[in-house]
Amino acid sequence: MSPSLLPRASLRDVVKGRARLVGARIDPAAARGWISPVEGRVLLGIPYGDLGAEEAAYLQGRSPASDMAVLLRTGFAYAVAPRRSAVPDPRPWIVSARVANLSIDEALEGIFAPPAPGRPRIVHFVHPHALNVAAENAELAGRLERADLLLPDGVGIRLAALILGIAMRHNVNGTDLWPAIFRTAAARGVPVVLVGAAPGLAQASAEQLARSHPSLRLPIVSHGYLGVPESRELAARIRALGRCMVFVGMGTPRQEAWTWSYLADAPDVTVVTVGGLFDFLSGRVQRAPVAWRELGLEWLFRALREPRRYAWRYLAGNPLFLLRALRQRLGSGSRVGASRPAAPAARASVVD
């Protein structure tokens, strides 16, 4: 999915006016530049969408001010890109769990890999907040350890990997990956179940998906405010479907606890925990503009839009997460292969 960038124009040619400072590095027929307007997204591991078309569209409407903005964003991306000495560990331990270090295409195939006979396949997207919680919550840490696949979500994971000297391949966050996930589910005929969020949001998400993917089957849609009887009844309906994918969006650690409490014995089912995905799918929450994402500031955009919900998590949690990564680096004495710390004291389960 990630395009290969063509060799950049030389700075000498840029200075002499023979090449552009910001130009093409994807289309070989276009005027070559020293940097591409989409180069930052490649460096940050978020090469989603048709970057060639976006590069061409930018170059048709460029301006000196927009070129300076591209330089700023690309400079940030280079600052947090993996160093040449970084180690491409396939499953690095980052703060409190081992995450899968995959490309976007590999992550997609990992999500759609068939479950083992007689059991579900459980996939968790983990962001700094989830790993912070797991560092203090032995139950969540155990659930993450037992999962089939942990996918790194967010620039914070990339920054922690930079501290640890680990070369992360792509930022496989669910919000960017969901169009490909639902498109693949529709193409393969895999039914999709939506569970989570406040009443009405999962249903609004299903209606949006029905419009964008008419062939996608959505046999069960439920909000996430479920008691024990409702959860058991819903789990029985899901098991009766056979092969299906269940997207659970209840926030960490509740979504992980609900998954393992009610679907751990559901054969042929793939469960993916997706956090606040239904907020975006339903249209309740606006996604941060691409420029914010290229500066690694999507978290700040969300905190500004919903301060009561996210300000403390991000403003306090993100520095704490990076501090924990630094302590791991200093404590392990090496960049990779750090042994798992002792399990934290267990806390009460959030599921009855």
Instruction: Please report the DSSP string for 113-167 in residue order.
Output: SPPPTTS-EEEEEE-HHHHHHHHH-HHHHHHHHHSSEEEE-SHHHHHHHHHHTB-
- Asked whether residue 209 is domain-assigned, the answer is yes
Structure token pair of residue 229: 């009887």
| Structure confidence by residue, pLDDT tens digits, 58-110 | 999 989 999 999 999 999 999 988 888 888 899 999 999 999 999 999 999 99
Among the listed residues 184, 255, 260, 178, the one whose alpha carbon sits nearest the alpha carbon of residue 222: 255
Gap between the Cα atoms of 151 and 307, Å rounded: 26
- Asked whether residue 223 is domain-assigned, the answer is yes
Is the domain of 142 the same as that of 213? yes
DSSP string, 52-79: HHHHHHHHHS--HHHHHHHHHHHHHHHH
pLDDT at 296: 86
Residue type, 123: V
Is the domain of 38 the same as that of 114? no
pLDDT at 332: 64
Its domain, for residue 108, covers 93-281
Structural domains of the chain, count: 2
pLDDT at 281: 93
Instruction: Give the residue from 50, 80, 110 where a domain finishes.
Output: 80
| Structure confidence by residue, pLDDT tens digits, 135-181 | 999 999 999 999 999 999 989 999 999 999 999 999 898 788 999 99
Is the domain of 126 the same as that of 206? yes
CB 335 within 8 A of CB 92: no
Is the domain of 110 the same as that of 64? no
Residue with tokens 């023979």: 18
Is the domain of 104 the same as that of 230? yes
Is the domain of 264 the same as that of 132? yes
Gap between the Cα atoms of 102 and 159, Å rounded: 16
Whole-model pTM: value is 0.88
Instruction: Give the residue from 215, 249, 281 where a domain finishes.
Output: 281
Is the domain of 125 the same as that of 236? yes
Cis (ω within 30 of 0) for the bond into 92? no
**pLDDT-flagged residues of the chain (< 50):** 333-339, 341-352
Please measure the distance between the N-terminal and C-terminal CA atoms of the chain and give it in whole angstroms: 42
Is the domain of 100 the same as that of 45? no
Q: In the chain, how many H helices and how many E strands?
A: 16, 10
Is the domain of 234 the same as that of 192? yes
